[in-house]
Amino acid sequence: MKITELPTPALFLDADTFDRNLAAMAAVHPGAALRPHVKAHKCTALAAAQQAVGHATFTCATPREVVGMGLAGVGTDLLLANETVDAARLRAMADLDVPVTVAVDSTATVDAAAANGITACLIDVNVGLPRCGVAPHEAGHIAELARRAGLEVRGVMGYEGHLMMVTDRAERLAAVERAMELLLEAHADVGGPVVSAGGTGTFDLHDSTGVTEVQAGSYAMMDTHYGQQGMPFEQALFVSGTVISVRDGHAVADVGLKALGMDHGNPSVAGGTVWFCSDEHVTFEPSEGLSVGDRVRVVPAHVDPTMAMHEAIWIVQGDEVVDRWPIDLRHW
């Protein structure tokens, strides 16, 4: 099947670009030096491709991602880089054949994990992003609680998410190093072999931070937001749309805000300037003549929520559709 035969809106991945992105990351962080973040794609087939280039440890944001990866048999070490006190979900993760580690940052999350069969944890440390995570000086105390509750404490994690979009590289590096000093301060009190941090925006700034593994996800697919950062990853993810209306000065394609993560703003359209998105439309000014029925490529501003809106992603080589991967780790 040709890409132009797909019913639209159709999420698709350019296979060659995707492979280059995987290779570029694996060259910098081979094997377990990268713990790919499943939340970026929510797709076990895509995770299997990451495993095929050497990464067998994975980061997840939801219990469903962990359980789905475990049941699909992808990954040999799964981390829930998030807190939960949901007994049924903790139990479902603990019942998997694959080892599961969860993040904890409080007595309640430690107790819930221990009470429901979880055996290993990382202490989640706040390194500047006000979300989950204890203050660095409290990390040792939580580790002690966790060990007393019978959990193996494998180390610490901290996500410098507030620094992903610092545009100046030197500034970003300096800020990352300061954030990682906080994480190492916590790690000194916690112990364990793992210091887990990072993301696509800071993937190459951890040479001397003491981090043992980088959690990155977007690098494999990319989006316009990360695309402005001058990284060695290319845009591999697109939404194919059909032009459904052509008017004086603007055209409309059938790729709307229900097919696109909008929290980073409007998407881009190849060969046009986007005016706005509605539920099922993108209105744009085309740079050359378009006709109703023509196809356009829409590039999402934020990859993670875009993937979460689609049932499947089409895998494309050139103009040929070669596969369809279900996005099977959606919802919670």
Report how far apart the first and last C-alpha atoms of the chain are (Å, whole number).
33
How distant is the alpha carbon of residue 330 from its chain centre?
A: 13
Residue type, 119: T
Beta strand extents in the chain (DSSP E only): 10-14, 57-60, 77-80, 100-104, 120-124, 152-158, 194-197, 213-214, 237-247, 250-253, 268-269, 272-277, 282-286, 295-299, 312-317, 320-326
Quick one: 263 or 319, whose CB is closer to its own copies?
263
Selected from 178, 250, 295, 324, the binder of its own copies by CB under 8 A is 250
The maximal CA–CA distance of the chain, rounded, in angstroms, is 70
Residue 252 touching its own copies (CB under 8 A) = yes
Quick one: 38 or 173, whose CB is closer to its own copies?
38
Selected from 3, 8, 140, 286, the binder of its own copies by CB under 8 A is 8
Residue 261 touching its own copies (CB under 8 A) = yes
Selected from 4, 106, 119, 229, the binder of its own copies by CB under 8 A is 106
Residue 293 touching its own copies (CB under 8 A) = yes
Selected from 27, 31, 131, 287, the binder of its own copies by CB under 8 A is 131
Residue 7 touching its own copies (CB under 8 A) = yes
Question: What is the dihedral angle through the alpha carbons of 164, 86, 48, 216, rounded to the nearest 10 degrees?
Answer: 10
Binding pattern for the stretch 266-285 against its own copies, x by CB under 8 A and - elsewhere: ---------x-xxxxx-x--
**Integer CA distances (angstroms), 87 to 25, 116, 134, 191, in order:** 36, 6, 22, 27
- The pair of three-digit structure tokens given for residue 40, joined into one six-digit string: 């970026």
Given a contact cutoff of 8 angstroms between Cβ atoms, the answer to whether 254 and 8 are in contact is: yes
Residue 196 touching its own copies (CB under 8 A) = no
Residue 133 touching its own copies (CB under 8 A) = yes
- Quick one: which of 25, 87, 67 has its CA closest to 215? 25
- # chain residues binding its own copies, by CB under 8 A: 59
Residue type, 81: A
CA dist., res. 144 & res. 40, Å (int) = 32
Given a contact cutoff of 8 angstroms between Cβ atoms, the answer to whether 56 and 32 are in contact is: yes
Stretch that binds its own copies, among 130-138, 148-156, 171-179, 180-188 (CB under 8 A): 130-138
Residue 223 touching its own copies (CB under 8 A) = no
CA dist., res. 50 & res. 218, Å (int) = 12
Selected from 132, 175, 205, 236, the binder of its own copies by CB under 8 A is 132
Nearest approach in angstroms of CB 248 to its own copies is 8
3-class DSSP assignment, residue 214: strand
Taking CB under 8 A as the criterion, which residues in 67-86 touch its own copies? Answer: 82-86
Residue 2 touching its own copies (CB under 8 A) = no
Selected from 15, 304, 316, 328, the binder of its own copies by CB under 8 A is 304
Where do runs of H (alpha helix) occur along the chain? 15-28, 44-52, 63-72, 87-94, 107-115, 139-148, 169-190, 224-227, 303-307
Selected from 262, 295, 324, 326, the binder of its own copies by CB under 8 A is 262
Residue 242 touching its own copies (CB under 8 A) = yes
What residue ranges bind its own copies (CB under 8 A)?
7-9, 39, 61-62, 82-86, 88-89, 105-106, 108-109, 126, 130-135, 161, 242, 244-250, 252, 254, 257-259, 261-263, 275, 277-281, 283, 291-293, 304-305, 308-311, 331-332
